[in-house]
Chain A
Protein backbone atom coordinates (compact mmCIF):
# COMPACT_ATOMS: atom_id res chain seq x y z
CA UNK A 1 0.00 0.00 0.00
CA UNK A 2 1.31 3.49 -0.86
CA UNK A 3 2.25 5.71 2.07
CA UNK A 4 -0.14 8.50 2.97
CA UNK A 5 2.59 11.13 2.55
CA UNK A 6 5.98 10.92 0.89
CA UNK A 7 8.89 13.32 0.92
CA UNK A 8 11.59 12.20 -1.49
CA UNK A 9 15.01 13.82 -1.86
CA UNK A 10 13.69 17.21 -0.86
CA UNK A 11 16.21 19.98 -1.33
CA UNK A 12 15.36 23.57 -0.54
CA UNK A 13 17.69 26.54 -0.35
CA UNK A 14 16.85 29.69 1.61
CA UNK A 15 18.88 32.88 1.62
CA UNK A 16 18.50 35.85 3.92
CA UNK A 17 17.14 39.10 2.52
CA UNK A 18 19.62 41.31 4.32
CA UNK A 19 22.95 42.14 2.72
CA UNK A 20 24.42 43.02 6.13
CA UNK A 21 23.45 39.70 7.64
CA UNK A 22 23.87 37.44 4.65
CA UNK A 23 23.36 33.78 5.43
CA UNK A 24 21.95 30.75 3.70
CA UNK A 25 20.29 27.58 4.81
CA UNK A 26 19.62 24.43 2.81
CA UNK A 27 17.57 21.34 3.41
CA UNK A 28 19.51 18.62 1.66
CA UNK A 29 18.05 15.38 0.28
CA UNK A 30 15.41 14.95 2.96
CA UNK A 31 13.40 11.75 2.53
CA UNK A 32 10.76 10.20 4.75
CA UNK A 33 7.20 8.91 4.59
CA UNK A 34 4.11 8.79 6.77
CA UNK A 35 1.75 5.84 6.72
CA UNK A 36 -1.94 5.98 7.53
CA UNK A 37 -2.47 5.73 11.28
CA UNK A 38 1.06 6.91 12.03
CA UNK A 39 2.42 9.79 14.11
CA UNK A 40 5.87 10.98 13.04
CA UNK A 41 7.73 13.08 15.60
CA UNK A 42 10.05 15.70 14.13
CA UNK A 43 13.04 16.60 16.29
CA UNK A 44 16.20 18.64 15.86
CA UNK A 45 18.02 21.43 17.59
CA UNK A 46 17.13 25.09 17.07
CA UNK A 47 17.98 26.20 13.55
CA UNK A 48 18.28 22.67 12.18
CA UNK A 49 15.45 23.17 9.71
CA UNK A 50 12.33 21.66 11.27
CA UNK A 51 10.19 24.72 10.61
CA UNK A 52 11.71 25.18 7.14
CA UNK A 53 10.78 21.59 6.33
CA UNK A 54 7.24 22.14 7.59
CA UNK A 55 6.90 25.40 5.68
CA UNK A 56 8.05 23.68 2.49
CA UNK A 57 5.57 20.83 2.98
CA UNK A 58 2.75 23.33 3.54
CA UNK A 59 3.67 25.41 0.49
CA UNK A 60 4.84 28.54 2.32
CA UNK A 61 8.22 27.96 0.69
CA UNK A 62 8.04 27.07 -2.96
CA UNK A 63 10.33 24.69 -4.76
CA UNK A 64 11.81 26.54 -7.67
CA UNK A 65 15.02 27.24 -9.44
CA UNK A 66 18.03 25.00 -9.93
CA UNK A 67 18.92 24.79 -6.25
CA UNK A 68 15.56 23.29 -5.18
CA UNK A 69 14.37 19.81 -5.93
CA UNK A 70 12.67 16.66 -4.78
CA UNK A 71 9.15 15.46 -4.50
CA UNK A 72 6.32 15.91 -2.03
CA UNK A 73 3.29 13.68 -2.47
CA UNK A 74 0.09 13.57 -0.49
CA UNK A 75 -1.53 10.22 -1.36
CA UNK A 76 -1.21 10.29 -5.17
CA UNK A 77 -1.07 14.07 -5.48
CA UNK A 78 2.17 15.87 -6.22
CA UNK A 79 2.74 19.25 -4.55
CA UNK A 80 3.74 20.90 -7.82
CA UNK A 81 1.55 19.37 -10.50
CA UNK A 82 -1.57 18.71 -8.42
CA UNK A 83 -1.49 21.66 -6.06
CA UNK A 84 -5.18 21.93 -5.20
CA UNK A 85 -5.59 18.28 -4.24
CA UNK A 86 -2.29 18.24 -2.37
CA UNK A 87 -3.03 21.34 -0.27
CA UNK A 88 -6.66 20.45 0.46
CA UNK A 89 -5.56 17.27 2.25
CA UNK A 90 -3.26 18.93 4.77
CA UNK A 91 -4.27 20.60 8.02
CA UNK A 92 -1.87 22.74 10.03
CA UNK A 93 -1.25 24.05 13.53
CA UNK A 94 1.75 26.37 13.64
CA UNK A 95 3.33 28.33 16.47
CA UNK A 96 3.75 31.24 14.08
CA UNK A 97 0.11 31.42 13.05
CA UNK A 98 -0.39 31.87 9.30
CA UNK A 99 -3.75 33.57 9.82
CA UNK A 100 -4.01 37.35 9.90
CA UNK A 101 -3.71 38.67 13.47
CA UNK A 102 -6.43 41.21 12.69
CA UNK A 103 -9.11 38.58 12.17
CA UNK A 104 -11.19 36.95 14.88
CA UNK A 105 -11.58 33.14 15.04
CA UNK A 106 -15.11 33.37 13.65
CA UNK A 107 -13.98 35.64 10.83
CA UNK A 108 -11.18 33.19 10.02
CA UNK A 109 -13.73 30.40 9.76
CA UNK A 110 -16.00 32.39 7.45
CA UNK A 111 -13.14 33.73 5.32
CA UNK A 112 -11.01 30.63 4.79
CA UNK A 113 -13.44 27.81 5.51
CA UNK A 114 -15.29 27.92 2.18
CA UNK A 115 -12.01 27.24 0.35
CA UNK A 116 -11.57 23.86 2.08
CA UNK A 117 -13.53 20.80 0.97
CA UNK A 118 -16.07 19.65 3.50
CA UNK A 119 -15.49 22.56 5.88
CA UNK A 120 -18.26 22.79 8.47
CA UNK A 121 -18.77 26.11 10.27
CA UNK A 122 -21.01 24.32 12.81
CA UNK A 123 -18.26 21.83 13.62
CA UNK A 124 -15.75 24.70 13.84
CA UNK A 125 -17.94 26.60 16.31
CA UNK A 126 -18.51 23.40 18.28
CA UNK A 127 -14.76 22.90 18.63
CA UNK A 128 -14.18 26.55 19.55
CA UNK A 129 -16.81 26.05 22.24
CA UNK A 130 -15.14 22.83 23.45
CA UNK A 131 -11.81 24.64 23.65
CA UNK A 132 -13.35 27.44 25.68
CA UNK A 133 -13.13 30.14 23.03
CA UNK A 134 -16.77 30.48 22.08
CA UNK A 135 -19.19 30.43 24.94
CA UNK A 136 -22.77 30.53 23.78
CA UNK A 137 -24.93 33.04 25.55
CA UNK A 138 -22.09 35.19 26.88
CA UNK A 139 -21.99 38.86 25.91
CA UNK A 140 -20.10 39.61 22.71
CA UNK A 141 -17.27 41.34 24.51
CA UNK A 142 -16.47 38.24 26.55
CA UNK A 143 -16.37 35.86 23.65
CA UNK A 144 -12.82 35.27 22.53
CA UNK A 145 -14.07 33.88 19.24
CA UNK A 146 -15.09 37.43 18.29
CA UNK A 147 -11.83 39.03 19.36
CA UNK A 148 -8.92 39.53 16.93
CA UNK A 149 -6.42 36.72 17.42
CA UNK A 150 -3.69 39.24 18.22
CA UNK A 151 -5.55 39.63 21.55
CA UNK A 152 -5.43 35.90 22.32
CA UNK A 153 -2.66 34.00 24.02
CA UNK A 154 -0.33 31.74 22.03
CA UNK A 155 -2.09 28.67 23.38
CA UNK A 156 -5.49 30.04 22.42
CA UNK A 157 -4.30 30.79 18.88
CA UNK A 158 -3.09 27.20 18.62
CA UNK A 159 -6.53 26.00 19.70
CA UNK A 160 -8.12 28.15 16.97
CA UNK A 161 -5.87 26.56 14.36
CA UNK A 162 -6.59 23.09 15.73
CA UNK A 163 -10.34 23.75 15.61
CA UNK A 164 -10.00 24.95 12.02
CA UNK A 165 -7.88 21.97 10.96
CA UNK A 166 -10.36 19.51 12.44
CA UNK A 167 -13.31 21.17 10.72
CA UNK A 168 -12.55 20.06 7.17
CA UNK A 169 -11.64 16.82 5.43
CA UNK A 170 -7.88 16.50 5.52
CA UNK A 171 -5.66 13.43 5.76
CA UNK A 172 -2.45 14.81 7.24
CA UNK A 173 -2.13 17.08 10.24
CA UNK A 174 1.10 19.05 10.46
CA UNK A 175 1.89 20.60 13.85
CA UNK A 176 4.87 22.85 14.53
CA UNK A 177 5.79 22.89 18.23
CA UNK A 178 2.29 23.02 19.67
CA UNK A 179 2.94 21.24 22.96
CA UNK A 180 4.95 23.84 24.86
CA UNK A 181 2.28 26.49 24.38
CA UNK A 182 -0.67 24.44 25.58
CA UNK A 183 -1.79 24.60 29.17
CA UNK A 184 -1.35 21.43 31.23
CA UNK A 185 -5.06 20.73 31.62
CA UNK A 186 -5.60 20.92 27.84
CA UNK A 187 -2.71 18.63 26.96
CA UNK A 188 -4.53 15.42 27.83
CA UNK A 189 -7.44 16.56 25.65
CA UNK A 190 -4.94 17.42 22.92
CA UNK A 191 -3.33 13.97 22.98
CA UNK A 192 -6.76 12.35 22.91
CA UNK A 193 -7.62 14.40 19.82
CA UNK A 194 -4.41 13.29 18.10
CA UNK A 195 -5.02 9.64 18.95
CA UNK A 196 -8.59 9.85 17.67
CA UNK A 197 -7.41 11.55 14.48
CA UNK A 198 -5.17 8.63 13.48
CA UNK A 199 -7.26 5.84 14.96
CA UNK A 200 -8.96 4.98 11.67
CA UNK A 201 -5.59 4.36 9.96
CA UNK A 202 -6.60 6.76 7.18
CA UNK A 203 -4.92 9.83 8.67
CA UNK A 204 -1.40 10.73 9.67
CA UNK A 205 0.36 13.32 11.82
CA UNK A 206 3.69 15.10 11.57
CA UNK A 207 4.45 16.89 14.82
CA UNK A 208 7.57 18.79 15.77
CA UNK A 209 8.51 19.53 19.33
CA UNK A 210 11.37 20.29 21.68
CA UNK A 211 9.53 18.35 24.37
CA UNK A 212 11.12 15.00 23.63
CA UNK A 213 9.49 13.21 26.56
CA UNK A 214 6.05 13.95 25.22
CA UNK A 215 7.02 13.14 21.63
CA UNK A 216 8.38 9.86 22.90
CA UNK A 217 4.94 9.00 24.29
CA UNK A 218 2.97 9.73 21.11
CA UNK A 219 5.26 9.09 18.11
CA UNK A 220 5.41 5.90 16.10
CA UNK A 221 8.38 7.07 14.06
CA UNK A 222 10.98 9.76 14.53
CA UNK A 223 12.40 12.12 11.95
CA UNK A 224 15.56 13.71 13.28
CA UNK A 225 16.93 16.67 11.34
CA UNK A 226 20.61 17.34 11.93
CA UNK A 227 22.54 20.35 10.71
CA UNK A 228 26.11 21.11 9.74
CA UNK A 229 27.93 24.28 8.83
CA UNK A 230 28.64 27.70 10.25
CA UNK A 231 26.60 30.85 10.84
CA UNK A 232 26.93 31.90 7.20
CA UNK A 233 25.94 28.65 5.56
CA UNK A 234 24.06 25.78 7.22
CA UNK A 235 22.73 22.56 5.81
CA UNK A 236 19.98 20.38 7.25
CA UNK A 237 19.83 16.64 6.60
CA UNK A 238 18.09 13.54 7.88
CA UNK A 239 20.12 12.28 10.80
CA UNK A 240 17.67 9.50 11.55
CA UNK A 241 14.30 8.28 10.35
CA UNK A 242 12.76 5.22 11.89
CA UNK A 243 11.13 3.85 15.00
CA UNK A 244 12.12 4.85 18.51
CA UNK A 245 12.92 1.23 19.31
CA UNK A 246 15.43 0.96 16.47
CA UNK A 247 17.06 4.21 17.54
CA UNK A 248 17.32 3.17 21.17
CA UNK A 249 18.71 -0.19 20.15
CA UNK A 250 21.67 1.54 18.51
CA UNK A 251 22.90 3.23 21.71
CA UNK A 252 23.75 2.46 25.34
CA UNK A 253 24.35 4.74 28.29
CA UNK A 254 27.42 3.61 30.22
CA UNK A 255 27.71 4.86 33.79
CA UNK A 256 31.10 4.27 35.34
CA UNK A 257 34.10 6.13 36.72
CA UNK A 258 35.92 8.64 34.59
CA UNK A 259 39.03 6.55 33.97
CA UNK A 260 37.02 3.62 32.64
CA UNK A 261 35.06 5.85 30.34
CA UNK A 262 38.17 7.58 29.07
CA UNK A 263 39.57 4.20 28.10
CA UNK A 264 36.74 3.62 25.63
CA UNK A 265 37.41 3.84 21.92
CA UNK A 266 36.67 7.41 20.80
CA UNK A 267 34.88 6.11 17.73
CA UNK A 268 32.23 4.55 19.98
CA UNK A 269 31.56 7.63 22.07
CA UNK A 270 28.77 9.96 21.05
CA UNK A 271 29.07 12.21 24.10
CA UNK A 272 30.16 12.01 27.70
CA UNK A 273 30.03 13.77 31.02
CA UNK A 274 33.00 13.19 33.31
CA UNK A 275 32.97 14.52 36.85
CA UNK A 276 34.25 13.53 40.25
CA UNK A 277 30.72 12.69 41.41
CA UNK A 278 29.07 11.02 38.44
CA UNK A 279 30.34 10.10 34.99
CA UNK A 280 28.58 8.65 32.02
CA UNK A 281 28.92 8.30 28.28
CA UNK A 282 26.53 7.60 25.45
CA UNK A 283 28.04 5.02 23.13
CA UNK A 284 27.10 3.56 19.79
CA UNK A 285 26.40 0.00 20.68
CA UNK A 286 28.74 -2.68 19.66
CA UNK A 287 28.75 -5.18 22.49
CA UNK A 288 31.86 -6.84 21.20
CA UNK A 289 33.88 -3.64 21.50
CA UNK A 290 32.54 -2.67 24.92
CA UNK A 291 35.02 -3.85 27.60
CA UNK A 292 33.52 -6.68 29.63
CA UNK A 293 33.81 -4.74 32.90
CA UNK A 294 31.62 -2.01 31.45
CA UNK A 295 28.90 -4.21 29.96
CA UNK A 296 27.16 -4.50 33.30
CA UNK A 297 27.26 -0.70 33.60
CA UNK A 298 25.47 -0.20 30.29
CA UNK A 299 21.75 0.41 30.04
CA UNK A 300 19.29 1.52 27.38
CA UNK A 301 19.12 5.28 27.12
CA UNK A 302 16.01 7.32 26.63
CA UNK A 303 15.37 9.58 23.67
CA UNK A 304 16.27 12.72 25.55
CA UNK A 305 19.72 11.39 26.43
CA UNK A 306 20.38 10.24 22.87
CA UNK A 307 19.34 13.61 21.51
CA UNK A 308 21.24 15.62 24.14
CA UNK A 309 24.55 13.86 23.76
CA UNK A 310 24.33 13.59 19.97
CA UNK A 311 23.58 17.26 19.48
CA UNK A 312 25.96 18.54 22.12
CA UNK A 313 29.08 17.44 20.39
CA UNK A 314 31.08 14.40 19.53
CA UNK A 315 32.95 12.80 22.38
CA UNK A 316 32.62 15.85 24.63
Chain B
Protein backbone atom coordinates (compact mmCIF):
# COMPACT_ATOMS: atom_id res chain seq x y z
CA UNK B 1 0.00 0.00 0.00
CA UNK B 2 1.47 3.33 -1.04
CA UNK B 3 2.36 5.49 1.87
CA UNK B 4 2.50 2.96 4.75
CA UNK B 5 6.23 3.60 5.13
CA UNK B 6 5.66 7.37 5.03
CA UNK B 7 2.83 7.11 7.54
CA UNK B 8 5.04 5.19 9.98
CA UNK B 9 7.80 7.74 9.44
CA UNK B 10 5.38 10.55 10.33
CA UNK B 11 4.36 8.64 13.46
CA UNK B 12 8.00 8.30 14.56
CA UNK B 13 8.64 11.99 13.78
CA UNK B 14 5.74 12.86 16.07
CA UNK B 15 7.68 11.49 18.99
CA UNK B 16 11.04 12.83 17.81
CA UNK B 17 9.68 16.39 17.85
CA UNK B 18 7.27 15.98 20.78
CA UNK B 19 9.07 14.00 23.52
CA UNK B 20 6.14 14.48 25.93
CA UNK B 21 4.18 12.07 23.76
CA UNK B 22 6.53 9.33 24.92
CA UNK B 23 5.18 9.86 28.44
CA UNK B 24 1.64 9.53 27.12
CA UNK B 25 2.69 6.33 25.36
CA UNK B 26 4.03 4.90 28.62
CA UNK B 27 0.82 5.88 30.41
CA UNK B 28 -1.25 4.15 27.72
CA UNK B 29 0.84 0.98 28.09
CA UNK B 30 0.18 1.04 31.83
CA UNK B 31 -3.58 1.52 31.38
CA UNK B 32 -3.70 -1.31 28.85
CA UNK B 33 -1.71 -3.58 31.13
CA UNK B 34 -3.55 -3.10 34.42
CA UNK B 35 -7.22 -3.02 33.51
CA UNK B 36 -7.59 -6.60 32.37
CA UNK B 37 -11.15 -7.49 31.43
CA UNK B 38 -12.31 -3.93 32.25
CA UNK B 39 -10.13 -2.41 29.50
CA UNK B 40 -13.18 -1.92 27.27
CA UNK B 41 -14.69 0.36 29.89
CA UNK B 42 -11.67 2.65 29.77
CA UNK B 43 -11.38 2.36 25.99
CA UNK B 44 -12.77 5.85 25.52
CA UNK B 45 -10.06 7.24 27.78
CA UNK B 46 -7.45 5.35 25.79
CA UNK B 47 -8.87 6.57 22.49
CA UNK B 48 -8.86 10.20 23.61
CA UNK B 49 -5.29 9.88 24.88
CA UNK B 50 -4.38 8.24 21.60
CA UNK B 51 -5.59 11.40 19.88
CA UNK B 52 -2.31 12.90 21.09
CA UNK B 53 -0.71 10.69 18.46
CA UNK B 54 -2.97 11.86 15.68
CA UNK B 55 -0.70 12.81 12.84
CA UNK B 56 -1.56 16.46 12.12
CA UNK B 57 -3.00 16.67 8.67
CA UNK B 58 -3.21 19.67 6.44
CA UNK B 59 -3.94 20.99 2.94
CA UNK B 60 -0.25 20.47 2.10
CA UNK B 61 -1.05 16.75 1.85
CA UNK B 62 -3.22 17.43 -1.19
CA UNK B 63 -0.40 19.30 -2.92
CA UNK B 64 2.13 16.52 -2.50
CA UNK B 65 3.78 15.38 -5.74
CA UNK B 66 1.72 12.21 -5.84
CA UNK B 67 -1.25 11.19 -7.91
CA UNK B 68 -4.71 11.55 -6.33
CA UNK B 69 -4.86 7.77 -5.93
CA UNK B 70 -1.53 7.74 -4.09
CA UNK B 71 -2.65 10.58 -1.85
CA UNK B 72 -5.81 8.64 -0.97
CA UNK B 73 -3.64 5.64 -0.25
CA UNK B 74 -1.49 7.79 2.04
CA UNK B 75 -4.60 8.87 3.94
CA UNK B 76 -5.65 5.26 4.34
CA UNK B 77 -2.12 4.32 5.45
CA UNK B 78 -2.31 6.92 8.20
CA UNK B 79 -5.59 5.42 9.38
CA UNK B 80 -4.04 1.93 9.44
CA UNK B 81 -1.06 3.18 11.45
CA UNK B 82 -3.52 4.53 14.03
CA UNK B 83 -5.40 1.24 14.08
CA UNK B 84 -2.14 -0.69 14.57
CA UNK B 85 -1.32 1.77 17.36
CA UNK B 86 -4.59 0.84 19.14
CA UNK B 87 -4.15 -2.87 18.38
CA UNK B 88 -0.75 -2.66 20.06
CA UNK B 89 -2.39 -1.57 23.34
CA UNK B 90 -5.12 -4.11 22.92
CA UNK B 91 -2.52 -6.88 22.55
CA UNK B 92 -0.72 -5.68 25.68
CA UNK B 93 -4.06 -5.80 27.52
CA UNK B 94 -4.84 -9.30 26.26
CA UNK B 95 -1.41 -10.83 26.86
CA UNK B 96 -0.82 -9.36 30.32
CA UNK B 97 -4.43 -9.91 31.37
CA UNK B 98 -4.30 -13.56 30.40
CA UNK B 99 -0.84 -14.26 31.84
CA UNK B 100 -1.51 -12.67 35.21
CA UNK B 101 -5.27 -13.27 35.25
CA UNK B 102 -5.83 -9.59 36.01
CA UNK B 103 -9.30 -8.90 37.37
CA UNK B 104 -10.14 -12.53 36.57
CA UNK B 105 -9.48 -12.12 32.84
CA UNK B 106 -8.33 -15.70 32.29
CA UNK B 107 -11.17 -17.07 34.45
CA UNK B 108 -13.71 -15.04 32.47
CA UNK B 109 -12.27 -16.39 29.25
CA UNK B 110 -12.57 -19.98 30.48
CA UNK B 111 -16.13 -19.34 31.70
CA UNK B 112 -17.42 -17.66 28.58
CA UNK B 113 -14.89 -17.65 25.70
CA UNK B 114 -17.50 -16.67 23.14
CA UNK B 115 -18.41 -13.46 24.96
CA UNK B 116 -14.76 -12.50 25.52
CA UNK B 117 -13.86 -13.13 21.87
CA UNK B 118 -16.97 -11.34 20.62
CA UNK B 119 -16.42 -8.33 22.84
CA UNK B 120 -12.72 -8.24 21.89
CA UNK B 121 -13.54 -8.30 18.18
CA UNK B 122 -16.12 -5.62 18.77
CA UNK B 123 -13.59 -3.44 20.59
CA UNK B 124 -11.09 -3.77 17.75
CA UNK B 125 -13.75 -3.11 15.11
CA UNK B 126 -15.10 -0.14 16.97
CA UNK B 127 -11.62 1.39 17.39
CA UNK B 128 -10.96 0.93 13.69
CA UNK B 129 -14.31 2.40 12.81
CA UNK B 130 -13.72 5.27 15.25
CA UNK B 131 -10.51 6.26 13.48
CA UNK B 132 -11.87 5.74 10.00
CA UNK B 133 -14.79 8.01 10.62
CA UNK B 134 -13.34 10.72 12.84
CA UNK B 135 -9.85 11.28 11.50
CA UNK B 136 -9.10 14.12 9.17
CA UNK B 137 -7.37 11.75 6.79
CA UNK B 138 -10.39 9.59 6.29
CA UNK B 139 -12.65 12.62 6.02
CA UNK B 140 -10.36 14.10 3.36
CA UNK B 141 -10.34 10.73 1.68
CA UNK B 142 -14.11 10.74 1.54
CA UNK B 143 -14.30 14.42 0.58
CA UNK B 144 -11.80 13.94 -2.23
CA UNK B 145 -14.24 11.52 -3.82
CA UNK B 146 -17.11 13.96 -3.58
CA UNK B 147 -17.44 17.66 -4.32
CA UNK B 148 -15.82 19.98 -1.82
CA UNK B 149 -18.07 20.66 1.14
CA UNK B 150 -20.63 17.93 0.72
CA UNK B 151 -21.10 15.50 3.61
CA UNK B 152 -20.77 11.78 3.10
CA UNK B 153 -23.05 9.18 4.64
CA UNK B 154 -20.36 6.93 6.16
CA UNK B 155 -18.93 9.86 8.20
CA UNK B 156 -22.39 10.52 9.59
CA UNK B 157 -22.89 6.86 10.46
CA UNK B 158 -19.53 6.87 12.23
CA UNK B 159 -20.38 9.86 14.37
CA UNK B 160 -23.78 8.48 15.30
CA UNK B 161 -22.11 5.15 16.04
CA UNK B 162 -19.59 6.81 18.39
CA UNK B 163 -22.35 8.52 20.33
CA UNK B 164 -24.38 5.29 20.51
CA UNK B 165 -21.35 3.37 21.71
CA UNK B 166 -20.75 5.89 24.49
CA UNK B 167 -24.36 5.67 25.64
CA UNK B 168 -24.39 1.88 25.53
CA UNK B 169 -21.08 1.68 27.39
CA UNK B 170 -22.52 3.84 30.14
CA UNK B 171 -25.60 1.63 30.34
CA UNK B 172 -23.43 -1.47 30.55
CA UNK B 173 -21.39 0.01 33.40
CA UNK B 174 -24.54 0.85 35.33
CA UNK B 175 -25.95 -2.60 34.61
CA UNK B 176 -22.84 -4.38 35.86
CA UNK B 177 -22.85 -2.39 39.07
CA UNK B 178 -26.53 -2.80 39.89
CA UNK B 179 -27.88 -5.87 38.11
CA UNK B 180 -25.19 -8.57 38.01
CA UNK B 181 -27.51 -11.19 36.64
CA UNK B 182 -28.46 -9.26 33.50
CA UNK B 183 -24.95 -8.64 32.25
CA UNK B 184 -24.88 -11.35 29.60
CA UNK B 185 -28.17 -10.46 27.90
CA UNK B 186 -27.34 -6.73 27.81
CA UNK B 187 -23.95 -7.40 26.27
CA UNK B 188 -25.34 -9.70 23.59
CA UNK B 189 -27.73 -7.01 22.36
CA UNK B 190 -25.23 -4.16 22.41
CA UNK B 191 -22.43 -6.27 20.96
CA UNK B 192 -24.58 -7.31 18.02
CA UNK B 193 -25.72 -3.77 17.20
CA UNK B 194 -22.25 -2.29 17.50
CA UNK B 195 -20.70 -5.14 15.55
CA UNK B 196 -23.09 -4.47 12.67
CA UNK B 197 -22.34 -0.73 12.72
CA UNK B 198 -18.62 -1.47 12.76
CA UNK B 199 -18.77 -3.90 9.86
CA UNK B 200 -20.91 -1.58 7.72
CA UNK B 201 -18.63 1.35 8.44
CA UNK B 202 -15.45 -0.50 7.63
CA UNK B 203 -16.81 -2.11 4.48
CA UNK B 204 -18.12 1.19 3.14
CA UNK B 205 -14.86 3.01 3.89
CA UNK B 206 -12.85 0.22 2.28
CA UNK B 207 -15.09 0.20 -0.78
CA UNK B 208 -14.77 3.97 -1.18
CA UNK B 209 -11.00 3.80 -0.88
CA UNK B 210 -10.87 1.28 -3.72
CA UNK B 211 -12.51 3.61 -6.25
Residues on A facing B (Cβ under 8 Å)? 14-17, 58-62, 64-65, 83-85, 87-88, 90, 92, 98-104, 106-107, 110-112, 114-117, 146
Determine whether the beta carbon of A60 is less than 8 Å from that of B59: yes
Determine whether the beta carbon of B60 is less than 8 Å from that of A98: yes
Q: Which residues of B contact A146 (CB under 8 A)?
A: 17
Q: Which residues of A contact B57 (CB under 8 A)?
A: 100
What are the 7 A-B residue pairs with the smallest beta carbon separation, nearest first? A88-B65, A100-B56, A17-B149, A98-B59, A98-B60, A100-B58, A102-B56
Q: Which residues of A contact B64 (CB under 8 A)?
A: 87, 112, 115
Provide the bound-state CA to CA distance between A102 and B59, in Å: 13
8 extra interchain contacts, Cβ-Cβ under 8 A, other than A60-B59, A61-B148?
A: A15-B149, A16-B149, A87-B66, A99-B58, A111-B13, A112-B60, A115-B66, A146-B17
Q: Which residues of B contact A103 (CB under 8 A)?
A: 17, 56
Provide the bound-state CA to CA distance between A112 and B96, in Å: 38
| Chain B: CB-nearest residue to A164 | B60
Provide the bound-state CA to CA distance between A240 and B15, in Å: 50
Interface size on B, residues (CB 8 A): 24
Q: Which residues of B contact A117 (CB under 8 A)?
A: 65
Determine whether the beta carbon of B17 is less than 8 Å from that of A107: yes
Q: Which of B63, B144, B150 meets A98, CB within 8 Å?
A: B63
Determine whether the beta carbon of A60 is less than 8 Å from that of B13: no
| Chain A: CB-nearest residue to B71 | A83
Provide the bound-state CA to CA distance between A60 and B63, in Å: 7
Question: Counting CB contacts under 8 A, is B62 at the interface?
Answer: yes
What 0/1 readout, one digit per residue, does chain B (10-39) give for beta carbons within 8 Å of chain A? 100100110000000000000000000000
Question: Counting CB contacts under 8 A, is B147 at the interface?
Answer: yes
Question: Counting CB contacts under 8 A, is B107 at the interface?
Answer: no
| Chain A: CB-nearest residue to B54 | A102
| Chain B: CB-nearest residue to A110 | B13
Q: Which of B16, B59, B68 meets A83, CB within 8 Å?
A: B68
Provide the bound-state CA to CA distance between A65 and B145, in Å: 11
Provide the bound-state CA to CA distance between A101 and B59, in Å: 11
Determine whether the beta carbon of B60 is less than 8 Å from that of A14: no
Quick one: which of B26-81 are within 8 Å of A by CB?
56-60, 62-68, 70
In whole Å, how far is B120's beta carbon from the nearest beta carbon of chain A? 33
Question: Counting CB contacts under 8 A, is B6 at the interface?
Answer: yes
Determine whether the beta carbon of A104 is less than 8 Å from that of B6: no
| Chain B: CB-nearest residue to A87 | B65
Determine whether the beta carbon of B67 is less than 8 Å from that of A65: no
Q: Which residues of A contact B149 (CB under 8 A)?
A: 15-17
In whole Å, how far is B75's beta carbon from the nearest beta carbon of chain A? 14
Q: Which residues of B contact A107 (CB under 8 A)?
A: 13, 16-17
Provide the bound-state CA to CA distance between A282 and B148, in Å: 41
| Chain B: CB-nearest residue to A168 | B65
Q: What would 21 A/B residue contacts be, using CB atoms closer than 8 Å?
A: A15-B149, A17-B149, A58-B63, A59-B62, A59-B63, A65-B147, A84-B67, A85-B65, A87-B64, A87-B65, A87-B66, A98-B58, A99-B58, A100-B56, A100-B58, A101-B58, A106-B17, A110-B16, A112-B64, A116-B65, A146-B17
What 0/1 readout, one digit per residue, does chain B (93-132) give for beta carbons within 8 Å of chain A? 0000000000000000000000000000000000000000
Q: Which residues of A contact B63 (CB under 8 A)?
A: 58-60, 87, 90, 92, 98
Q: Which residues of A contact B68 (CB under 8 A)?
A: 62, 83
Q: Which residues of A contact B150 (CB under 8 A)?
A: 17
Determine whether the beta carbon of B10 is less than 8 Å from that of A111: yes
In whole Å, how far is A105's beta carbon from the nearest beta carbon of chain B? 10
Provide the bound-state CA to CA distance between A106 and B66, in Å: 22
Q: Which residues of B contact A87 (CB under 8 A)?
A: 63-66
In whole Å, how far is A144's beta carbon from the nearest beta carbon of chain B? 14
Determine whether the beta carbon of A114 is less than 8 Å from that of B6: yes
Provide the bound-state CA to CA distance between A90 and B65, in Å: 9
Determine whether the beta carbon of A115 is less than 8 Å from that of B65: yes
Provide the bound-state CA to CA distance between A114 and B3, in Å: 12
Q: Which residues of B contact A102 (CB under 8 A)?
A: 56
Q: Which residues of B contact A85 (CB under 8 A)?
A: 65
Provide the bound-state CA to CA distance between A108 and B177, in Å: 49
| Chain A: CB-nearest residue to B70 | A84
